[in-house]
Amino acid sequence: MDLRDRVAVVTGGASGLGRATVIALAEAGMKVAIVDRDGERASALAEELGGHAWPATADVSDEAQMISAIEGAASRGPIGVAVACAGVGWAARTVDKEGKPHDLALFRKVIDVNLVGTFNLLRLAAAAMQKNAPDAGGQRGVIVCTASVAAFDGQIGQISYAASKGAVAAMTLPAARDLAKSGVRVMTIAPGTFDTPMLAMLPDEAKRSLAASIPNPSRLGDPKEFGALAVHIAQNDYLNGEVIRLDGALRMAPK
């Protein structure tokens, strides 16, 4: 699909993987809606990119806020790409060492943002894309979701995060099948250990240990590599209904 003169929507677009994706899509010639709860950070990125992007403050799990963000994006042109990067994660065992069960509200919060928020973008973006005129290949748009290697190799303490990301991976194929006749593709990227603000909170020794556990290349992932893959997925019409691990051959140990 030709990305030029089309609109992209990126949730969690003000930082980390989302920020790198916003920049990559703008460099590919798209106009980009930076959807993020942090309006100030989204505005700062939009200023960096000039007329190629604009901020859209929204919580991905809020229906009304996301409808407003999608409608605002569609008013600027046909939405050709949507990328779901917004996500949260907390560490907690199913039952902790003192015998206390996992906080149910915390589990629901992770599911609400990571899974429900992703589906909220998917359904709204797909509905907007169906209104597009198809290109020469019959394509109207592509939606890229973000899972995680934790969907397959969830570690101790990742029960809520792994559940949310596993569900994102699981809905990729049925979503692609649902939207096939509309010319809308659905793909998911499952990143491994990336050098993002979330990881920056760890001590340097912990980050070095994580990098050493990655087979090749033995380093943390660069968010630019995630953004580049999102752009390639958008441009490659034959990628559909699949989850791509982007992890340097990493397989997570139990802890």
Does residue 172 form part of some domain? yes
pLDDT of residue 109: 97
* Whether the bond into 215 is cis, omega within 30 of 0: no
And the tokens for 71? 């409608």
Q: With a cut of 50, which residues of the chain have pLDDT below it? A: none
pLDDT of residue 255: 83
Does residue 22 form part of some domain? yes
Does residue 255 form part of some domain? no
Overall number of domains in the chain:
1
The Cα 176–Cα 187 span in angstroms is: 8
CA 106, 191, 222, 53 torsion-angle sign:
negative
Does residue 2 form part of some domain? no
Query: The CATH number of the domain where 71 resides is what?
Result: 3.40.50.720
Does residue 117 form part of some domain? yes
Does residue 107 form part of some domain? yes
238 is catalytic: no
Does residue 232 form part of some domain? yes
pLDDT of residue 162: 97
Predicted TM-score of the model (pTM):
0.96
Catalytic residue selected from 54, 119, 161, 226: 161
pLDDT of residue 201: 67
Percent pLDDT > 90 in the chain is 89
Helix axes of 104-111 and 159-170: crossing angle, nearest 10 degrees: 30
Does residue 254 form part of some domain? no
Q: Containing domain of residue 188, as a range?
A: 7-245
